[in-house]
Chain A
Amino acid sequence: MIRAALYSATVTALFAVATAAVPAPVAAQTAAAAAPATLTIKFDGAMAPTGAVMVALFDSEAAHDKGGAPVRGGMAKVAGTTAELVIPGLKPGRYAIKAYHDINGNGEMDSNPFGMPLEPFAFSNGAKAVGGPPSWADAGFEVAPGAATVTISFR
């Protein structure tokens, strides 16, 4: 049984990292011109047409699975049920994404008094939470040189 204590110790601790690491809007990162890969992340299935999707992009198993810092972060405004974030200037290779929908736009992943998430979250590669975020092995995907697109659903 995934009790509150167990759950908060896993899911929210890692989302705290994602939240803290979300940096300036992606538009500021313009060093993309010479970059070998541009990743477009499309979100669908948002439960409310408000706020933004907060995104943390990881480039290593160590950072993803052990609470390390993401290599990039971003924020994608939600319109209707979708949102889109473009991250240019990526080195081709393996990545994984943790994202949550900041429905009320307060910049935080709201949680109940026991630290359990109150806002929707999702992961790359269709990976699902099983009492905590999925592992790098389940959420990882390859980014090839050029333009790449991944879709993440909040459904």
Chain B
Amino acid sequence: MIDRRNFLGQAGLVATAAALPAAARAAAPARPDWFAAVGDITADIAPQGLRRVHGRAPAGLDGTLYRNGPARFRLGGTAVGHWFDGDGLIRAWQLRDGQAQLQARFVDTTKRRTDTAAGAMVQPGFNTLARPGAVVTSADDTNAANTSVIVAGGQLLALWEAGSAYALDAQTLATKGPLTFRPDLAGMPFLAHPRIEPDGRIWNLGMGGKMAFIWRLSKDGSFEAGQSIPLPMASYVHDFTATARHLVIVLQPWVQERNALPFVASLEWRPQLGTKVLVIDKADLSKRRVFELPPLFFFHLGDAWEDNDGSIRFDGCFESDPAFARDTASALIDARTVRTDRPVLRLVTLHANGRASVDDAGITAEFPRSDPALAGLRRTRTVHVGGYGPARPFARTIGIWDWQTGRDDAHDFGAHQIVEEFVPAGRWLIGTTINLQAKASELHVMDAARVADGPVVTWRANVALPHSFHGSWLAA
């Protein structure tokens, strides 16, 4: 980026700078329009009504879309070093009687308190180094609680991946504190991507190098069972998947090889190791099989299922290496992009004979979701965002890919919109975008049978919230 003062100085124009019209001066190095995706929210947002700008709310669609994502990246002249290191802001988009409102509140984490007290972003992170004043007595001291939010046992769980879930009040979004499922499990990591069976039982992982802790919680979020298991390699694991009977842990060749800070510096990309897929029997965690795949990088997988022929299938959004995770997602904070691979939708089949194969949908896609009633069961449809292009690492379309027909029912919101994750809500999809023209976040409902028709209703907030990651729909 050109430093405006130096640029003018070199050109011998310092004296005339003051005489330039304000517009010309402001026109120097402009931030890209997508910068709103990683902007800062300075305070909680009290409940505010949203303005309906298109269509009408479907009758009877009452409930709340809870979403989570980082929304404070900078403080006191300092900034975090990575998109994943901002403070989690919980947003509640509530629909009732055809009206919509928005409320948002930061998770009151130890990290946020430490940073606030220091007047700077001092706590270390995924790719953020500790600054003077940092205090890290446990992983939870760096827990940004910024990745997802689920509803369990009548409360919200704000999820990160390397520390505890944070419990929040579902109505006020007030933070209750980090959740300890059993005293001896305090501080154990809990991924942001639990797999929830149709009856509500929750499975999750906590990653610790070449070990994973398998969590099993009841529908109401209470502890049922937990156990550590060894892994074939110390892969970076953000997400896993599951069928009705099996846990499926995909181990990519981005492996932890040393103890280093920030965390990303401990990882090396070793494509020669390939990708290993560990399949574990839910009923007996000692029963396991390992499948081999080519080297693949991913953050997110879709729900898995088992076919009659004994094969296990799941889709995911894959890249060829971790360049986005390592480089681009760091550069975004400085309003830069680094050109990286775009995520593509692929279907993995783990055959009964021990072989594994990968099929391409031929579209770019991220944030895969599917019908929660079919979690772990045979399905064909995957909700996803897409339309990734070279200019910015954000989506502009929402679609439902059908693996049976090979067809994508998609809607393009346009280059002026950044599309965030959409989730199924009965026969509808609900999700948010950042409208870069209006400089405002928008809430949309799509008909899941006719996505290409565009939103059936759109509401607009009076604020552009930074890009959120994941969330949950809770029907009223």
**Residues of A with Cβ closer than 8 Å to B?**
1-10, 110, 112-114, 116-118, 121, 128-131
Contacts and interface: CB of A to CB of B under 8 A. Distances in A.
B208 to A, nearest CB: 4
B130 A130 contact: yes
A89 B136 CA distance: 34
Q: Which 8 A-B pairs have CB atoms at the shortest separation, nearest pair first?
A: A5-B209, A1-B263, A4-B208, A114-B208, A131-B136, A6-B259, A128-B135, A129-B137
B188 A6 contact: no
Contacts of B206: 4, 114
A6 to B, nearest CB: 5
Contact of B187 (A10, A112, A128): A112
A7 B125 CA distance: 13
A7 B188 contact: no
Grouping DSSP codes into helix (H, G, I), strand (E, B) and loop, the A interface class, with mixed when no group exceeds half, is loop
Given A112-B186, A131-B124, A1 B139 contact: yes
Contacts of B226: 113
- Classify chain B: how many residues form its interface, as a range: 35 or more
A2 B136 contact: yes
B266 interface: yes
Given A1-B262, A116-B139, 9 more contacts: A1-B124, A1-B142, A7-B138, A9-B259, A112-B184, A113-B228, A116-B188, A129-B135, A131-B136
Contacts of A129: 135-137
B305 interface: no
B228 A2 contact: no
Given A3-B139, A112-B185, A116-B187, A10 B228 contact: no
A5 B234 contact: yes
B137 A121 contact: yes
28 contacts: A1-B126, A1-B263, A2-B124, A2-B139, A2-B162, A2-B261, A2-B263, A3-B162, A3-B189, A3-B263, A3-B266, A4-B162, A4-B206, A5-B259, A6-B261, A6-B263, A7-B138, A112-B184, A113-B226, A113-B228, A114-B206, A114-B211, A116-B187, A118-B187, A129-B136, A130-B124, A130-B130, A131-B130
Given A2-B124, A131-B261, A7 B184 contact: no
